[in-house]
Amino acid sequence: MALAALALTACGSDRDGGGNNGPGTTTTTIGSAVTTTAPPTTTSAPPADEELRVTVRGGDVVGGVRRFTVDVGASVLVRVEADVQDEVHVHGYDLTADVGPGTPATIRFQADIPGVFEIELEQRALRIAELAVQ
């Protein structure tokens, strides 16, 4: 019984974020063992070197078929907004994403294959952009 009371007396919790712990960090001490739990951290993807934006309205590309040129190795973000349900396809890289009214398609990739590549709305066989990687 005295041993149980001693064990309970040795338990403690410091939840004030003091010491070297950051805000939201909890340190719990049980006997000589110390456990520190930090809140989860979130990271976001770094911004793309090149952002390619295309809008499709009424079955046509606003402003005509877009032509983009990027350097080999660039990080590319393709963002397509459309008023129709379809699939955006980046040929050569074989990347796809669904697009529809209120749901833009986003495709992020490393442009590590040199050449000229078509980007299209797949089901409509509508070329919406041309990407030159050089």
Domains in the chain (CATH in brackets) are 2-37 (no CATH), 50-133 (2.60.40.420)
| Each residue's pLDDT tens digit, 50-99 | 899 999 999 899 999 999 999 999 999 999 999 999 999 999 999 999 99
User: In a 10 Å sphere around its CB, with 0-12 CB exposed, 13-18 middle and 19+ buried, how is residue 133 labelled?
Assistant: buried
At 45, phi and psi to the nearest 5? -65, 140
Neighbours of 56 (CB within 10 A): 20
This prediction has a pTM of 0.64
CA dihedral 108, 109, 110, 112 (to 10 degrees): -140
